[in-house]
Structure 1
């Protein structure tokens, strides 16, 4: 028995073969690599919740005996996104929650089915999506502002094992001795590089802190609303009030599911900014104000 899933009524996903099939054009098939397929399956199984990067690395790779870097995770999420776009989904259903993880976009409809036969893939018509197909696109890909680096992965490289046919023959290199002058010059250059790196890190940190919404923290997802609270909302009473205001506009989460709640301590009111996408992406937002009793 093989489980497969229908995404938004237009795409058929078979985890066993990591294939995406266009239901309107059955001959149009996209084949993901195995890790990208397992990432999609994990997102489907956790629909309505956020999956952290640590959970992806553990469930998709570590539990199968593979230890990989964060770059491998970022790259496979990009492979997944490219495959979903290639098969015909108009909007990217994979949503990045900054500094937290990934989730399926609210409104994504998943239907689970079970079949006796595993889908067969014709290599003649299938389009294969893997790390090699991304190499050329990565040369022109530019990261948008405030988007985590998983949206712009680096191509993976493989190092041939020593003694394999692909491993080039090497000859012993002569030993070079450094003079005291060369050593001092190299040390000075390394010190300059470290100073420049430190300045760059400070600049990036300063830019991040200057971003207004970087001070909001994720509270929970409820009724399709992803609720973020400002740093000033810390007391249990303030949190309960923020949740109450979010419930009053729950119907609006269908179009504007990202909620940023701010309590203005000097004024008796609460601000709720609703957006169709997170603040890390170009979006459209509307604001609601609730006046509180003193």
Structure 2
């Protein structure tokens, strides 16, 4: 003998094999196990509000803590559809906001019948969908989307890095091994004059200007002049460049060296 329930005199519900049948139309519906357990809870508490937490425990037992609200609502939706398809009109399952669900039908009676284990459901109207599998699919899809987003961000970062690299390569670079001790001295006939920091006093700088004014500077072709002088050796070097040396990647320069010039301190005005 197997327990069954008669709903409104013409609908039979068999929890053991999770089927609904109609004595009027002869239709039979197979529902999934959690949905059948939810219906059994409803038919035993007609007209009473059943909380969501109770429904989790009833339909999924100890595993109810791992079930998402989406799974519960999917099962409730499947149950509503099955009841409508089997012949129960109206909204038999009502959502009570913040409290749970209530099953409203005119009559439910408990019965017992003999069930043939080989009895087949010949007219399946609703699909036997396990919403928990849908949850797993949604989780997998979410992970797939997250994975794609991560790949997209990584690709954009790599592309950004490549663009920055080529922009950086295209900008004139400071020559690393070039002395950075040169400072701006003056302008002479369109030439920008830079000197080493050893020319620290005003007198030496003025004498350097006098010295350069006596040189045939080609300021149109070589507008950047770098003057180097050291007291340790009586020589002066002049580097004339087409572009500013520190920032030009490609440059055209010429170098002139004056030996035994006597030192800037000996240059006469």
TM-score range, shorter chain: 0.3 to 0.5
Normalising by structure 1, report the TM-score.
Answer: 0.44
